[in-house]
Structure 1
């Protein structure tokens, strides 16, 4: 994904030449894949004054000016780099975090209204963080650990709050991993969530992804995994009893239910539900049975429905 890092910021020309101070500066983006050069380049890009920012935003809003959108995006790329650096502790590539933040920046530029009285830098922070948060939640683990609003809030605050508690520890136990009951109550109160939600998220974060059925090793033999500890449900007593009951219903029960039908109904049910030819196809169609008995296809369907209802009652009595 890092090789596509500059894709969100690519404009009709890699060199910007617009109104002052942009007209006096020619900035060429570095080659794809060089993250350090990219960061260095975006940090050298000029910032917009309030008047320039509002003018570009109005041109984008009123005239769909793509050059104005590019000017707004390019002047705020350093903001994305700064925000993305705050999330390096989650073990995801810095380039991918920047790329997702660039997507959020472009969404912010598209929705930015200069008449609201706020600068784009303040408005865009929410969108940048939202995209980065979504990327982290989807890619931090194979199994998504946070889905509700409360869980997302805990995911991005629990670790930093735990580090704060350990730094302030008076008992010298700075290596203790789990929250104490008092710390759980403080976290729940500060983040406005339930204490049990704090404990559940702490349990989720302390664990990791485990492959139940590992792939064979280099020697061709199967690796030993947690799936070996799972019970075989096929020999569980309840499952065995249910399987035996299904077998009886499928043989003796169906035979008993079919004996309750008249010859015509029995043949219609057999052709429609029980007959399988050598080529895998079923029995006769409604129209074929209707032609044989000299009635309409709808009448054959009605007979079939009545026969099935009668068989269900007979099966219920048999069971």
Structure 2
């Protein structure tokens, strides 16, 4: 193949020009040169992929949206993770979006794919982000590389002989700040950072089987999420008027058993009666009381079905 022929193919097929992501600058430059698809082209390729499982159409859809992944990856550079890794994870999300995309839903692929791209990047960050960057400014870097050794020297020279102290005194903070030409508050901040361990973003299981509290628990507030609002509203309705309405379908004995077993709270906080106590009162076995309770609960659930639906 001559160079002229190769150039002609490259012009017609810019998808062949994308280099490996190892050379990030070249990769970004290449994907930005890939032309965007028109809506008609996008619909045609998407239908061929959906109806004929056409791999080439899938490739066209993916390649024309690689620049979207690059753009979204820039939003997550603050986590200290390589952009090339963010892009690779985002590309996985893009391919998932292309596979699931339905062109007849009236939505462009760019809008549909954003969710999948971000989801993969978020998952990657959750798996890999474990520690905030310790030193970012010039002063912080100076402290990071010198504070630990200076603390050891100050402890060995301590007049009180206390070499096990983990914190610096005010005089020692001032001494370090003067020696490194930084502010005392910067010394204190770096000492705090160095003395702290990594903080997991997700909860970790402890030895006793309980999950520890983690930042992920308060990073997002889903209290106003529409599904959560509807669930809360439904729960409030069922626990209020719904319970009273369900109890009305029971006979007096069944109703009393349910109230004693599930709804009764005495002043001494001991709760309602046990199966054996109710059995003694009604002159039947504890198993019979349990059977009555089960049947009553089924009747109540059936009465609540119109509300729950």
Same fold (TM over 0.5): no
**TM-score normalised per structure 1:** 0.40
Relative to the length of structure 2, the TM-score reads 0.41
Structure (1 or 2) with the greater helix fraction: 2
